[in-house]
Structure 1
Amino acid sequence: MKIRKAFGPTIAVSLLALSLAACSNPAVDAPSAGSTDSKLPASCSTEKPTIGVALPNTINPYYVAMQDSFKKHGQELGFDVKVAIANDSDSTQLSQVDSFIQQKVCAVALNAVNSGPGAASVKALNAAGIPVFTVNVIISPDDLKTQNASFVQYVGADQVAGGKQMGEQVLKDLGADAKIVAGIIGNPDQIPTNQRDQGFKDALSKNSNASTVQTVNGKIDPSVSLQVTGDLLQGNPGINVLFADAGPHAVGALQAVAQQGKADKVKVYAFCAADQKLNSTYAACAAQEPAKYAQIVLDNMKKHLAGESVDKEVLEPLKVFVDGQTPGQGEVG
């Protein structure tokens, strides 16, 4: 059963009111969650409003599924959806956001390349009075505060819960008091992956015989993940569990385990690699649903543009797959 966790916009609106009282700034003058009287861009009143979608890449199957969903569902809702792919460059993405501004789009869905630099894109859209909805990658609250920037809504997976689910699965598979030495293939530049790692470690902390030796940076890249996981295993021969906190990390980690002949000694738990069957080595994974997140963003964007209130944050639960199962199309990490 899927349970959506959402937090209402009351606090965000109250803080916005205080900011407006203090000064007039494009970042806080922008439309916000729950607002019904904010002035929208003129293009929003056209027969088919143009929506900008900014994505990091289309190498990761996750973003392919998200892009397809934005285009398909956007058309169903009567939007003209324009997608920009940043090829994992923060500067390119900011330039693409500036292009959306020049095109006078009605609103933007932003999946930032990185959590910190993404705040600059939000700030630019605020200054132009264009509503911005963030998805998947959480924009750094500290950077938003520094730039006095705000977004209408964030939509994504419940990242902490997903990491916790994987940690709990480890304890279920190996034993609540088993000797566990875990390594993590992560990405410290991203808030979501850090949240997943923390959830995983919190779950393992219930076992006094479990420890985490190191977190290496897979950079959301299978090739990089293969290399750093190989180094991690060689430097820590006692590792019997790997947590790969993104689908590309899982691909690289599984390859490294196979290359070193440790398929019977090391179990991999992960956020799901696309279309890859679980087995005795690839023991469990948590799947996000990027196509669904795109649909939620667009549905709530349409509500917001119609003057309806939307929640500041929508966190979706993750599906868990175990040995013998295969994630479905679009169910990825």
Structure 2
Amino acid sequence: MSNRTRGLTAAAAAFSIALLAAACSNQATSGTTATGADSAVPSSCTSGKPVLGVSLPNTVNPYYVSMRQSFLDAGAKDGFDVKVAIANDSDSTQLSQINSFIQQGVCAVALNAVNSGPGAASVAALNQAKIPVFSVNVIISPDDLKTQNASIVQYVGADQTEGGKAMGEQLIKDMGTTATINAGIVGDPDQIPTNQRDAGFKTALKPNANAKVGPTVNSKVDPNVSLQVTTDMLQGNPDINVIFADTGPGTTGALQAISQLGKTGKVALYGFCAADTALNSTYKACAAQEPADYARIVVDNVKKYVGGDKVPAEILQPLKIFTSGTPGPGEVG
């Protein structure tokens, strides 16, 4: 297995405008850190075993299975009673579950929003209840936060732009700076992180004047949807010879579509890592996130914050880049 870890800092020049805006809009104070001492935390935080509410989109995606277990394990280690709510990919269900956390008087909430925009309503509700919010993985829309006069304490996730850029750079390395590249994207245009991945991928292709990025189809982070929309895209655009899939489930469906259409050897796939899927002559490279690590970091910083310590407004973790072998458990897109 060949992999390299790409480090990054919050000041990395590759950050997109959206990510910079999110960092400013999401922080709880006017500086670069937030502290529980800046404003009173809920009295429930001082109980023997404070409750940490965790809101996740689903547990169908292996990404969230790994994240859920890590929240439970890390929470128990740090003395929290972790309550996990699964929204089944529904914005309204997630908001209802957030309101339930408010009624329960939880100490803090770790929010992995179903969608970037609607997630701001959950943040606003928690702000009104004076319950600190830590967002993870899905960036809450800075514009929607501003509209609702809402803010979070901290965001934890991967450097999404760097992940897409790494895939584009690997593509150029594999095919060269003069090769004809007609790429299609199997993405999720409704989310800030996936759009950042797409932007990074496109940026990396600029050294090749013969590289073009054509259609983007919405996989809805669902392997079955991805299979269908990738099939349609390839049938409607027979010149496509590269696909970039910006989520793990998107990669899974795209790989199936390439095989079913007899495009093996004709279309190369680069993407965010699919669970339990080996790299091969078609599936050339992938970028892996580590959701269990993100959950652990969130729990540790919730503990610091409610204890009165300062925490950074944003923590961006490096991705692992695979060009062969099979990513390990929990190394997914």
Shared topology, TM-score over 0.5?
yes
How much has 1:16 moved relative to structure 2? 4.7
Asked if the contact 2:136/2:156 (under 8 Å) is kept, the reply is yes
For residues 2 and 17 of structure 1, the distance between their equivalents in structure 2, rounded to whole angstroms, comes to: 30
Decide whether aligned partners of structure 1 residues 49 and 271 sit closer, same or farther in structure 2, where only a CA change above 3 A counts.
same
Paired residue for 1:191? Answer: 192
Q: Percent identity?
A: 66
Per the normalisation by structure 2, the TM-score is 0.92
1:111 equivalenced with 2:115 (yes/no): no
Paired residue for 2:165? Answer: 164
Paired residue for 1:49? Answer: 50
How much has 1:176 moved relative to structure 2? 1.6
Unmatched tracts of structure 2, length 5 or more: 12-19
Paired residue for 1:27? Answer: none
Paired residue for 1:259? Answer: 260
Paired residue for 1:79? Answer: 80
Paired residue for 1:3? Answer: 7
Which digits, 9 at most, give the CA deviation of each residue in 1:209-231, with x for residues without a partner?
Answer: 00011100000011111011001
Asked if the contact 1:186/1:215 (under 8 Å) is kept, the reply is yes
How much has 1:2 moved relative to structure 2? 6.0
Query: RCO greater where, 1 or 2, for CA within 8 Å and sep 6 or more?
Result: 2
Decide whether aligned partners of structure 1 residues 306 and 2 sit closer, same or farther in structure 2, where only a CA change above 3 A counts.
farther
For residues 71 and 6 of structure 1, the distance between their equivalents in structure 2, rounded to whole angstroms, comes to: 28
For residues 290 and 74 of structure 1, the distance between their equivalents in structure 2, rounded to whole angstroms, comes to: 15
How much has 1:12 moved relative to structure 2? 7.1
Aligned partner letter, 1:326: T
Root-mean-square deviation over aligned CA pairs: 2.0
Decide whether aligned partners of structure 1 residues 106 and 287 sit closer, same or farther in structure 2, where only a CA change above 3 A counts.
same
- Tell me, what secondary structure is at the counterpart of 2:256? helix
- Tell me, what secondary structure is at the counterpart of 1:121? helix
Unmatched tracts of structure 1, length 5 or more: 19-31
May I ask how many residue pairs the two structures share in their alignment?
Answer: 319
Paired residue for 1:176? Answer: 177
Aligned partner letter, 1:332: V
Aligned partner letter, 1:139: I
Asked if the contact 2:26/2:153 (under 8 Å) is kept, the reply is no
For residues 123 and 71 of structure 2, the distance between their equivalents in structure 1, rounded to whole angstroms, comes to: 19
How much has 1:275 moved relative to structure 2? 1.3
Asked if the contact 2:27/2:152 (under 8 Å) is kept, the reply is no
- Tell me, what secondary structure is at the counterpart of 1:310? strand
Farther-moved stretch of structure 1 (173-182 vs 119-128):
173-182
Decide whether aligned partners of structure 1 residues 271 and 36 sit closer, same or farther in structure 2, where only a CA change above 3 A counts.
same
Aligned partner letter, 1:319: K
Which digits, 9 at most, give the CA deviation of each residue in 1:133-186, with x for residues without a partner?
Answer: 000000000000000000000000000000000000000011122110000000
How much has 1:328 moved relative to structure 2? 0.4
- Tell me, what secondary structure is at the counterpart of 2:212? strand
Paired residue for 1:243? Answer: 244
- Tell me, what secondary structure is at the counterpart of 1:265? coil
1:223 equivalenced with 2:219 (yes/no): no
Aligned partner letter, 1:5: T
Decide whether aligned partners of structure 1 residues 191 and 225 sit closer, same or farther in structure 2, where only a CA change above 3 A counts.
same
Paired residue for 1:330? Answer: 330
Paired residue for 2:16? Answer: none
How much has 1:15 moved relative to structure 2? 8.6
Aligned partner letter, 2:120: A
Paired residue for 1:317? Answer: 318
Decide whether aligned partners of structure 1 residues 331 and 124 sit closer, same or farther in structure 2, where only a CA change above 3 A counts.
same
